[in-house]
Amino acid sequence: MSAAYTLGVIGVGQMGGALVRGIVRAGALAPAQIIVCDADSARATALASEVGAKAAASNAEVARQSEYVLLAVKPGLVAGVAEEISGELSDHKTLVSLAAGVLVTRLRKALGPVAVPIVRVMPNTPALVGAGAFAVSAPGVPEERVDTLVRLLGALGQVVVVGEELMDAVTGLSGSGPAFVFVMIEAMADAGVAAGLPRATAQLLAAQTVMGAAKMVLETGQHPAALKDAVASPGGTTIAGLAELEKGGFRAAMVAAIRAAAARSKQLSES
């Protein structure tokens, strides 16, 4: 059963469009409760027609008609859009930004004196297939509004609530993390091909193995090390492979990659 509010989505490219489709598909909101707008008006019209939502003629119209206004535009455009819609916002509405590295203080500056609650959300690309990881930061936002957003985003994956000071760490881990996993899947598939498997078979087995392993972590609640140990029989194939991963610095390289991505996110937020 859908909740009784209107969600406005400004920017319906890859991520914004995925969120709208996922929300409708999950029944979290009725299509008539969603209004969309995009710099590419044809794209907004096409999405609205596809899912049964409404298309607005302007960003200001979206803000005027919505209780929750979601900004899914590129980080460099967020301040300009916020300034554009500021006259339509109030403390009765909630502004939700998906822009990486754009601090709440920067949004406040663009909005001027309007006292609208602001929520930052860091999604990741698996939201496109309903398996996203979302971090929500909402300092000073009424609890019931945060709960509403957590329920809404929960239709597309897992949601955690963190302080804004942790959003750079989230960006490095779950925001950038899918790319690191894609590289791992590619490497696993390449190894399978080197061992004699057809490319399509190797890729399917590699991707399914990663998905299945992740599902075991989430559903069993066991520590990854315990699950690893359960597969690594004494003197067996798995422990031989694990020894090679340690020799190659796999664990250290993954830690370094995530820390580098988090550091870069912090640099961008300070620029």
Per-residue pLDDT of 3-14, as tens digits, reads: 689 999 999 998
- Give the chain's domains with CATH numbers: 7-164 (3.40.50.720), 177-270 (1.10.3730.10)
Phi, psi of 233 (to 5 degrees): -70, 150
Per-residue pLDDT of 211-238, as tens digits, reads: 999 999 999 999 999 999 999 999 999 9
* Mean pLDDT of all residues in 246-253: 97
* Mean pLDDT of all residues in 136-151: 95
Asked if the model's pLDDT at residue 1 lies above 90, the reply is no
CB atoms within 10 A of CB 187: 12
Give the pLDDT of residue 2. Answer: 54
* Mean pLDDT of all residues in 188-201: 98
Give the pLDDT of residue 140. Answer: 92
* Mean pLDDT of all residues in 162-187: 97
* Mean pLDDT of all residues in 95-107: 92
Mean pLDDT for the chain overall = 95
Give the pLDDT of residue 3. Answer: 67
Give the pLDDT of residue 4. Answer: 82
Q: Which amino acid is at 60?
A: A
* Mean pLDDT of all residues in 60-77: 96
Nearest to 55 by CA among 101, 124, 9: 9
**Percentage of residues of the chain with pLDDT beyond 70:** 99
pTM, two decimal places = 0.90
**pLDDT interval class at 242 (50, 70, 90):** very high
Nearest to 166 by CA among 111, 254, 252, 103: 103
* Mean pLDDT of all residues in 21-33: 93
E strand or H helix at 78: helix 75-85
Give the pLDDT of residue 269. Answer: 85
| Angle, alpha carbons 186-218-220 (nearest 5°) | 120
Asked if the model's pLDDT at residue 29 lies above 80, the reply is yes
Asked if the model's pLDDT at residue 150 lies above 70, the reply is yes
| 154 secondary structure, DSSP code | G
**pLDDT interval class at 101 (50, 70, 90):** confident
**Percentage of residues of the chain with pLDDT beyond 90:** 90
**pLDDT interval class at 159 (50, 70, 90):** very high
